[in-house]
Amino acid sequence: MSAIYGAIDLNGRNIDEKLPEKFDKQYEKCKIDRYGHILDKNVYMSCGIQYFYKRAEREKLPIYDAESNIYFTADCVIDNRKELIPELGLTDAAADGDIIFAAYKKWGKECASHLQGLFAFVVYDAAKNEVYAAVDQFAQRCLFYHVRDGVFYFSTLFFPIPRATGLKFKENERWLVDAISLCSAATITESVETALSGLNKIESGEYIIVKCAANKDYIVNSERYYDPNKSIPTDWSMTLNQSVDIVKKTMFSVMEKILHEQDFVAAELSSGLDSSTVTCIAAQILGKKNKKVFSYTSVPLKEAEIKNKKYIIYDETEGVNIIADAYDNIEPTFVDCKDRHYLYETEDIVESWELPCKSQQNAVWIDEIARMAAERGAKIILSGSTGNTTLSAGDIVDGAYYYMKKLNFPKAFRILDAYKEVGISKKRILKIMAKDIINYYKWYFVPSMRDCYKDNITRSDIGEKYNLSARFRKRSMHYFPFKDMKTIRSQMYISDANAQLGELDTASSLKYGILLRDPMRTVEFLNVCFTIPIYCFTNEDYARRLVRAGMDGVVPEKIRKNKFARGRQSGDNTYRLKIAWPAVRAKWMKLTHTPQILKYLDEKKLEDYISRVDGKFETVEYYDAFLISNL
């Protein structure tokens, strides 16, 4: 992997020879193993290479190919090397950058559809005076760009473009309004724009072409090369046994590729199904080589005295130890992030993440685990962060609703019988389901349910300047309570989510020199998930059945068959807020009470939220502390 950045003047003017030094300065805090540069008249390309895989040591980037008059640089880890190398006439000694460059020369703009892995790359065809740039199917590696006066600027990170070039940008008010208005971990509502108008990024599964138009203006055309919702049909003939077999086979196949050249890996591990699956499969594969998996688990501070509830697990130590006991090559570390609180570290984390940070209560432990794993010497850290929409998708009520729509009520009732295990009758569940449907339609008639300002502190005047209510009501506030096949498929691949996750992963990898790999965020695995019908995701034997049935023999039974308990990280958030509040309050008041910030925030609501917490920590509700941490 790499950090890539540079500038290409499509008017043919020489690039300022001081620009490389200015760009390099913006990346000097990053964990880069080696730099490469090209500065040739109107072309400047840089590549800061990181050695996450041994083959990266063979990278020779950027590339200028005199025969074709093409310049090329890339940030890449290619997973389907084995298939591509013979097809492209290369040898096993080829670096991943060599593979992409050969693919471009063979397939041109269609090359991205042949690649699997993590990548972002830029090609300048001097003969055509044309830029081609692409990112991987999940935008796991970012590529920001800006075109001004015929110059195409690009960068893996966001801040280097305005800071290195000295170009002035306007705030993207619409983007910022959306960022502060979303009452969830989401920060963005679309995947191309950024906080600065005109400074954009390439969307997951797309490439762009930049060239001169007839009127000498410069145009950017984007094309989608990957869209599983349109290209992969559901296989309604698939049986339950076939679905779990193909999922298990594919998970092992993907993990073998991720772990290639890796003898020492870290893993984010909770007692949940997704991270357990990832860690256990890695342990099986690495165990054959007598190698370990070093797992890291976020746990509450002991002094917070947080107690697990019947079905909410705040401290996942017991579950993680069950997993570690099943595999002697899993070595667990429990991370309590003592003396850290996000709201006191706001400026540092936003600077390194390059995004307004939502889900702040999780920000610190994510950062701490990456730091600890990197310091231990790991080059990759495994995660199951997208498992909820792929491997472990499928709730009980979703399965019941599917069969109710088919008028197969006996089957639907058998699925609902699972709730008997927790003392909930079918009659009660049916009442809850009916109420959810009523509330869905009630939304159309009750104004308070459609108030997109009730749980945020956005000023309504600037919000409505950008039609916030009209845009958010359908997109972010009104979802049918049960998922059908179309909904499950749509949630597997969301460009907005891809963009946000990719930005965070890219920034973290450059900060600490450790690469996050999620096997569920791969083309090979996602393509399989798109073929699986809804009755295989949830049925009368299991909800989330692909993982519960599919990982038999992989995940310990006590974890795999725990149907109702869910882990909840950062359960000590209220306690941490109490301890840090004096310092946090002073810093927060200073940061938020400025004309630039109050242009977006309702000051009265801001003060009201503070008063809910101020001096009332013994009675403060978890939800209020959550809101304070997510403003």
Nearest to 296 by CA among 260, 262, 337, 235: 337
Q: What is the per-residue pLDDT for 571? A: 83
Q: What is the per-residue pLDDT for 216? A: 65
Q: What is the per-residue pLDDT for 624? A: 45
Give the C-alpha separation, 99 to 85, whole Å.
7
- Residues of the chain with confidence (pLDDT) below 70: 214-216, 357-360, 615-631
Joined tokens for residue 558: 């006590």
Q: What is the per-residue pLDDT for 623? A: 44
Joined tokens for residue 185: 């971990």
Q: What is the per-residue pLDDT for 183? A: 79
Q: What is the per-residue pLDDT for 481? A: 92
Q: What are the percentages of helix, strand and coil residues in the chain, rounded to 5? A: 45, 15, 40
Q: What is the per-residue pLDDT for 429? A: 93
- Does a cis peptide bond (omega within 30 degrees of 0) precede residue 62? yes
DSSP assignment of 79-115: S-HHHHHHHTT--TT--HHHHHHHHHHHHGGGGGGG-
Q: What is the per-residue pLDDT for 422? A: 81
Q: What is the per-residue pLDDT for 617? A: 62
Give the C-alpha separation, 285 to 80, whole Å.
18
Give the C-alpha separation, 78 to 403, whole Å.
41
Asked if residue 502 lies in contact with residue 353, where contact means CB atoms within 8 angstroms, the answer is: no
Segment 276-326, tens digit of pLDDT: 999 999 999 999 999 999 999 999 999 988 888 888 899 999 999 999 999
Asked if residue 387 lies in contact with residue 547, where contact means CB atoms within 8 angstroms, the answer is: yes
- Residues facing 125 on adjacent strands: 70, 130
Amino acid in the structure at residue 561? K
